[in-house]
Amino acid sequence: MSQLDKKAGLLRRTSSSKKTLKEKVVLMYDEIFSKEDPAKNAPRFWDELFLMKVNLEYLELKLESVDEEVQHSQANINALFHYCIQALGEEHPIKVVNALQTLCALFRGVHQKNRSASGFDIINLLMGFDKAEQRMKDLMERLDSLLCGEGSESLKSLCLKLMLCLVTVTDNISQNTILEYVMINSIFEAILRILSDVSSKHLHGYDPVVLLALLVNYRKYESVNPYIVKLSIVDDEPTLDGMGMVIQQALTEYNRQFRDKQEETQGGFFSTLTSMVGSMFIADADEKLSVQTNEAILLALYEAVHLNRNFITVLAQVRSNIANSSTMLETILSLCRVVMNNPELPLDPNLQTTNLLITFLKYASILMQDTKDEHRLNSARLCLIILTCIAEDQYANAFLHDDNINFRVNLHKMVNLMVEFIVTHMMKDFPMDLYLRCVQIIHKLLCYQKKCRIRLHYTWRELWSALINLVKFLLSNETTLLVKHNIFHLALLVVNLFNMFITYGDTFLPSSNSYDELYYEIVRMHQVFDNLYCMVLRVSTNTGQWKEAASKVTYALVNIRAIINHFNPKIESYTALNHISQLSEEQVLEVVRSNYDTLTLKLQDGLDQFERYSEQPKEAAFFKELVRSISLNVRKNVSLNTMSQDVLLKEFSTIS
């Protein structure tokens, strides 16, 4: 009764003053942005403030509109910031929630307003220069204890959102000066803890991983980033596992979506129509979005693979989805109260028998199907960079090549993926960069196999014919391609792959037949190599930009030409001798086998040497752009998520 009365009274007063109806919290915000200390008249002002439901939009708007009065309202904003941090220590979860959201709004509002302002000004406006260090230390400590504490998972989730919000307020993460405090007061351990905790990692989704990936990229090249240092030495298995699991989930989800969509399109006419219509509006947007969101996930995967040597084991480890799916089921059950009486589910063979690497390879192959879109191209590039790192790491190789692991499909898949890529991307808009990476990955794998004498049971013929086709393509599009790319470099790499097989085939080919087949393939396609030789000879004799690059190819072709010149006459004479017009493959192989001994090859230097991947000068620009794009995307999505978080917390408030 009394409450009703109060409400009525309130209404009457506002209506009489003919003002628009305002929430109490809004009024309080207004007070903050006035000149006076709001607590002067109402000593419990700050206490009350955090009991109110936050009005994010209004607060942000208010912050944006602050301009000239910055000077006098700064004290109040500082105070608000201070009390927010204080409120984080409160026992009442509602206050903590509100404080977190207020902080979110503060960070965002201030940055939106002062886009051009220097980081120092922003810090001054929010916390005041003299107190900034202490304030941020407090904030980080509070967040740390919230994240590590026993508290509610949604609180932790909100903490992560706040961090994501803070990390992404600027387009260029390295210009976000506040992060310097985040570097000093590291919350790395807290993030890891969340990742290692089986029960919580499913609830927070990708946030902790994305946050980590972003923090690692803060002033990566300019200063010592403690997150890089720490990430590189993590060796706690559950944590790394947890990280791998989150990444795998994200990629699996994308793969699943893709498969579903494919199945849909394979359906009847009607379903194709509806899906077309549907995809015009929803699916397409969805899909684009998820490629973009996955950029962050891929970045996280890259950083983990690149920085942390222990992560490699996680990559190749057989993931036990049983445990995950069951715990996931539990959480789903507890959250949605959906009864899933499908006992078959955790035993779905597709679900269990996978590991992160396989999932990643699947993802990469889907991604590479279409690289026209810039995001997809970037993602594909990142995928190839990750694969390069994997192919270079001797431990990863040891895992991939381990003969005693009972199912060893990874390596086949990896080579298959490369072959698939080579075959499918010979187009006008030639992705030279991707091709180079792709061929280099194969080269690195071969180098490892040669070193360790591992014989992969792979039908290398597929690779050979793909490579020959690539050369063919380069030749026929020479003029158009030369405008943009140095095709001789790629040609050199391809020819050297052949040289690897020719000179070191004894160390890694699976059977003696495959060595014969190599010769057969070269002899069969000798036209292509002849043409290539003519072309590079022509270019290298002319003076020009490509003279040197082309002459390298000329030199590299020496053994292939020797083979062609050796066997072609032999085959011709065999044909003439036996009066056969067309030799069968078996007959050619016979000729090859019987004429090895008279063939002398030249040993070329450095075939098994390769340039090692280094992020620093070469890829820095790419990563900078990538991080920028991820920041924008995360910022956009975090706001949405905070709103849904709001809904969740409403429920939360009624419980407590």
Partner 1 sequence: MEDTELEISPAPSDQNSPSLSISSSSSPSVSLPSTPSSSCGSTQPVAPLLGVINEGVCELSLVIDAEVAQRACHEVLQKVKLQQVGSDDVTDLHEQTDPVVPGGPSGPIAAEEEAKPEGLVPGTVKSTRRRQKHNPSKQSWLLRLFESKLFDVAMAISYLHNSKEPGVQAYIGNRLFSFSHEEVDFYLPQLLNMYIHMDEDVGDAIKPYVVHRCRQSISFSLQCAWLLGAYSSDMHISTQRHSRGTKLRKLILSDELKPVGARARREALTLTPFCPALPHSTATTAASGSLVPDHGLSPSKRTHQRSKSDATVSISLSSNLKRTASNPKVESSQDEDSSSSSDSLEFETGPPVRLAPQREFIKSLMGIGKRLATLPTKEQKTQRLISELSLLNHKLPGRVWLPTAAFDHHVVRVPHTQAVVLNSKDKAPYLIYVEVLECENFETSSVPIRIPENRIRSTRSVENLPDCGMTAEQRAGSFSVVPNYDNDDEAWSVDDIGELQVELPELHASSCDNISQFSVDSITSLESKEPIFIAAGDIRRRLSEQLAQAPTTFRRDPEDPSAVALKEPWEEKVRRIREASPYGHLPHWRLLSVIVKCGDDLRQELLASQVLQQLQSIWQQERVPLWIRPYKILVLSSDSGMIEPVVNAVSLHQVKKQSQLSLLDYFLQEHGATTSENFLSAQRNFVQSCAGYSLICYLLQVKDRHNGNILLDSEGHIIHIDFGFILSSSPKNLGFETSAFKLTAEFVDVMGGPDGDMFNYYKMLMLQGLIAARKHMDRVLQIVEIMQQGTQLPCFHGSSTMRQLKERFHMSLTEEQLQLLIHQLVDGSMRSLTTKLYDGFQYLTNGIM
Interacting residues with partner 1 between 400 and 419 (CB under 8 A): 402, 404-407
Interhelix angle 207-216/237-265, nearest 10 degrees: 110
Residue 321 CB, nearest distance to partner 1 (Å)? 8
Check residue 129 for interaction with partner 1 (CB under 8 A).
Answer: no
Residue 374 CB, nearest distance to partner 1 (Å)? 26
Residue 16 CB, nearest distance to partner 1 (Å)? 54
Residue 324 CB, nearest distance to partner 1 (Å)? 10
**Residues of this chain, 558-587, that bind partner 1 according to CB under 8 A:** 563
**Residues of this chain, 478-537, that bind partner 1 according to CB under 8 A:** 502-507, 509, 511-512, 515-516
Among the listed residues 309, 485, 526, 628, the single contact to partner 1 using CB under 8 A = 309
Among the listed residues 124, 317, 331, 575, the single contact to partner 1 using CB under 8 A = 317
Single out the segment in contact with partner 1 by CB under 8 A; choices: 69-77, 147-155, 309-317, 529-537.
Answer: 309-317
Residue 287 CB, nearest distance to partner 1 (Å)? 30
Q: Return the number of the residue (368 or 522) whose C-beta is nearest partner 1.
A: 522
Q: Return the number of the residue (289 or 601) whose C-beta is nearest partner 1.
A: 601
Q: Which amino acid is at 82?
A: H
Q: In Å, how far from its chain's centre is CA 301? A: 6
Q: Is 335 helix (H, G, I), strand (E, B) or coil?
A: helix
- Which two tokens mark 601? 């090859």
Check residue 225 for interaction with partner 1 (CB under 8 A).
Answer: yes
Contact track, partner 1, 434-473, x by CB under 8 A: ----------------xxxx-x------------------
Check residue 356 for interaction with partner 1 (CB under 8 A).
Answer: no
Q: Is 355 helix (H, G, I), strand (E, B) or coil?
A: strand
Question: Going by C-beta distance under 8 Å and a sequence separation of 6 or more, which residues neighbour residue 587?
Answer: 574, 580
CA distances from 618 to 60, 107, 385, 508, 623 (A): 40, 34, 12, 32, 10
| HEC profile of 71-135 | HHHHHHHHHHHHHHHHHHCCCCHHHHHHHHHHHHHHHHHHHHHCCCCCHHHHHHHHHCHHHHHHH
Single out the segment in contact with partner 1 by CB under 8 A; choices: 20-28, 52-60, 386-394, 436-444.
Answer: 386-394
CA–CA separation, 264 and 534 (whole Å): 50
**Residues of this chain, 133-162, that bind partner 1 according to CB under 8 A:** 133
Among the listed residues 266, 353, 545, 565, the single contact to partner 1 using CB under 8 A = 353
Q: Return the number of the residue (19 or 612) whose C-beta is nearest partner 1.
A: 612
Q: Return the number of the residue (128 or 431) whose C-beta is nearest partner 1.
A: 128
Among the listed residues 186, 257, 486, 641, the single contact to partner 1 using CB under 8 A = 186
Q: Return the number of the residue (451 or 472) whose C-beta is nearest partner 1.
A: 451
- Which two tokens mark 191? 């993030």
Place of tokens 């000066």: 177
Check residue 117 for interaction with partner 1 (CB under 8 A).
Answer: no
Place of tokens 């407090």: 138
CA–CA separation, 485 and 57 (whole Å): 50
Which one-letter DSSP state was computed for residue 598? G
Q: Return the number of the residue (96 or 305) whose C-beta is nearest partner 1.
A: 305
Check residue 330 for interaction with partner 1 (CB under 8 A).
Answer: no
Residue 60 CB, nearest distance to partner 1 (Å)? 28
Run of H or E residues at 578: helix 558-578
Long-range contacts formed by 486-491: CB under 8 A, 24+ apart: 486/432, 486/546, 486/549, 487/432, 488/536, 488/539, 488/546, 488/549, 488/550, 488/552, 488/553, 489/436, 489/549, 490/432, 490/435, 490/436, 490/439, 491/532, 491/536, 491/553
Three-point CA angle 81, 50, 58, nearest 5°: 75
CA distances from 80 to 40, 83, 135, 230 (A): 14, 5, 12, 33
Strands in 219-287 per DSSP E: none
Residue 244 CB, nearest distance to partner 1 (Å)? 12
Place of tokens 């351990």: 189
Single out the segment in contact with partner 1 by CB under 8 A; choices: 148-156, 165-173, 224-232, 573-581.
Answer: 224-232
Residue 610 CB, nearest distance to partner 1 (Å)? 10
Among the listed residues 11, 229, 333, 345, the single contact to partner 1 using CB under 8 A = 229
- Which two tokens mark 334? 């507890």
Q: Return the number of the residue (513 or 573) whose C-beta is nearest partner 1.
A: 513
Single out the segment in contact with partner 1 by CB under 8 A; choices: 203-211, 357-365, 479-487, 595-603.
Answer: 595-603
Among the listed residues 75, 282, 323, 340, the single contact to partner 1 using CB under 8 A = 323
Q: Which amino acid is at 337?
A: R
Q: In Å, how far from its chain's centre is CA 638? A: 18
Check residue 6 for interaction with partner 1 (CB under 8 A).
Answer: no
Check residue 221 for interaction with partner 1 (CB under 8 A).
Answer: yes
Residue 398 CB, nearest distance to partner 1 (Å)? 9
Indicate the pairing of strand 318-319 with strand 354-355: antiparallel
Q: Return the number of the residue (257 or 352) whose C-beta is nearest partner 1.
A: 352
* Cβ atoms of residues 27 and 64 within 8 Å: no
CA–CA separation, 174 and 631 (whole Å): 11
Residue 347 CB, nearest distance to partner 1 (Å)? 6
Which one-letter DSSP state was computed for residue 319? E
Check residue 392 for interaction with partner 1 (CB under 8 A).
Answer: yes
Which one-letter DSSP state was computed for residue 515? H
**Residues of this chain, 596-635, that bind partner 1 according to CB under 8 A:** 596-603, 605-609, 612, 614-616
Q: Is 354 helix (H, G, I), strand (E, B) or coil?
A: strand
Which residues on neighbouring strands pair with residue 318, listed in sequence order?
355
Check residue 12 for interaction with partner 1 (CB under 8 A).
Answer: no
Among the listed residues 238, 546, 552, 648, the single contact to partner 1 using CB under 8 A = 238
Residue 79 CB: number of other CB atoms within 10 A?
17
Among the listed residues 339, 349, 483, 644, the single contact to partner 1 using CB under 8 A = 349
Residue 602 CB, nearest distance to partner 1 (Å)? 5
Q: Return the number of the residue (89 or 238) whose C-beta is nearest partner 1.
A: 238
CA distances from 243 to 351, 384, 534 (A): 18, 20, 52
Q: Return the number of the residue (355 or 645) whose C-beta is nearest partner 1.
A: 355
Check residue 321 for interaction with partner 1 (CB under 8 A).
Answer: yes
Residue 309 CB, nearest distance to partner 1 (Å)? 5
